[in-house]
Structure formats: C-alpha cells, structure tokens
Structure 1
C-alpha cells in the first residue's frame, strides 16, 4: 500500500474518532436530567452570533457547555446568588417561535441567552427558588 494512502486512511480514522467522541459528548450532555438547550452571547452585540450550547442545573449553579467542543468541563458556570435576569424578549418577530432572548447579569457582566419558553420558565423558577433574601433575581 502506498504511503500516501496509509496517511490518508490514518487521518480519516482520526477524524472519525474525533467526530464520534464529539457526538457522544453532545448526546450525553443533552440527556442529563436538568439539561436544556441554551445559546449565549455577549450583551449588546446583535451582530455577533450566538454560541450554541447546553446548560445544566447543578447544585446552586448552572453549568453551560459549548456544543462544538470536546471538553467535558463547562465553558461557563453561573452561581445562582450572583446571576440575575434583567429582561426577556420573545423572538417571535425574528421568526423563532417559542424562543426568548433573555438578558442576564452575572458579577456586573451582561450577556444574553436564547432559550425556549419552557427553558425560561425553568430558569425563572430556579432563580425564584433561591433562599430567602435572594428572590429578587428575576425581573
């Protein structure tokens, strides 16, 4: 077998393994109890596209994972006591039925999330279920 063909087959095998690992990670993250699709971007940057992601409720925090990554660590973690919702806008006028643009603040940093209506209801409930004295997290 020529060397070029062997190298090509090795590269294709590695690419297939990377794709399989990424698909397995994405499947595992999306199947966890408490996971929901949640896209993120910096606030006030409508020209910047959302980064696709999956969020997961953990004890007292939300962990956010990028969809197109091989890392098993969350790209962002938001602790409930420091996260607040500052506004929400339905995205129906943008052609995205059953979606909200949710404006958030975490440690004085503003960002936006895009999520389904059901996911927003879960987020609002989770924030409102904070211990007494911290229930002002949802606008």
Structure 2
C-alpha cells in the first residue's frame, strides 16, 4: 500500500513539474516574439476590478493579448485596430509606479484599461495613428 502512495505522489509531482515547465516555456516564447510587450488588463474602469497580467503582441491589423499564467494556446483577447480606440491615459508617477502608464481604451463600445510602459504606450499610440486613411479618431 505504501508503494502505491509513493508512486502516486511521484506521478503528481512529475505532472506539476511538467506543467510548470510548459508554462515557463510558453511565457518565454510569448515575451520574446517580435512586437510583444508586457501589458496588464482589466475590464471597465472600476478601481476594484482585478488586473490580469499579460503579454500583448502586434499582429496584422490587430493586437493579441495572452494571460501570463495560463497554458492556453490562443490569445485571451484580440483587438482589431479599426475597432480599438484610446480614450485617455494617466501616468502612474503619483501612484508610485513611474514606469507605468494607465491607458483607457474602448473596443466595440466596451471600456477597459491597460497598464504598460511609456515606451509600449508610444508604440500603441503610433500603431493606432498609422491606421489606413479615414481612421484618425483612434487616439485622444
């Protein structure tokens, strides 16, 4: 009976190690892709809403966003450039985080917030402003 407990415990430990390695590999792969940047997200503009830590990546006319702590092979969210707008931004200097910018966004009428580095915000604003003609209202 004791042998079975040890084998079961070994199998559980092996599975946990394999899941941790797969998660670390996924995170490393996502963060080293061209056009990727760290970006946390939360729904709405409610201060009590929880932040989800993630990595965003520019695609052809879209931004894909993956949660950091997930094994999902697909992005958790995808925002098309022609339906995404920045409605405001706030530097978090006074909140004690001088290296972050709070970016308020709207996608298909739904508001959400992102936090990112100032450099990542500059890239996002430039990417939105470089949209095809007729889409000049994307950045406030």
Task: State TM-score, norm by structure 2.
Answer: 0.97
The residue number in structure 1 matching 2:133 is 132
- The Cα offsets for residues 65-120 of structure 1, whole Å up to 9 and x where unpaired, read as 00000012000000000000000000111111121100000000000000000000
The residue number in structure 2 matching 1:77 is 78
State the shift of 1:44 in Å.
2.1
The residue number in structure 2 matching 1:51 is 52
Unmatched 5+ stretches in structure 1: none
SS at match of 1:2: helix
Q: What is the root-mean-square deviation in Å for CA atoms of aligned residues?
A: 0.8
User: After the TM superposition, which parts of structure 1 deviate over 3 Å for at least 4 consecutive aligned residues?
Assistant: none
The residue number in structure 1 matching 2:118 is 117
SS at match of 1:94: coil
Equivalents in 2 of 1:129, 1:8: separation in Å? Answer: 55
The residue number in structure 2 matching 1:90 is 91
Equivalents in 2 of 1:98, 1:67: separation in Å? Answer: 19
Equivalents in 2 of 1:112, 1:104: separation in Å? Answer: 6
State the shift of 1:47 in Å.
1.3
What is the 5 A alignment of 1:28-47? Answer: 28-47=29-48
SS at match of 2:94: helix
Equivalents in 2 of 1:87, 1:72: separation in Å? Answer: 31
Q: How many residues align?
A: 139
Unmatched 5+ stretches in structure 2: none
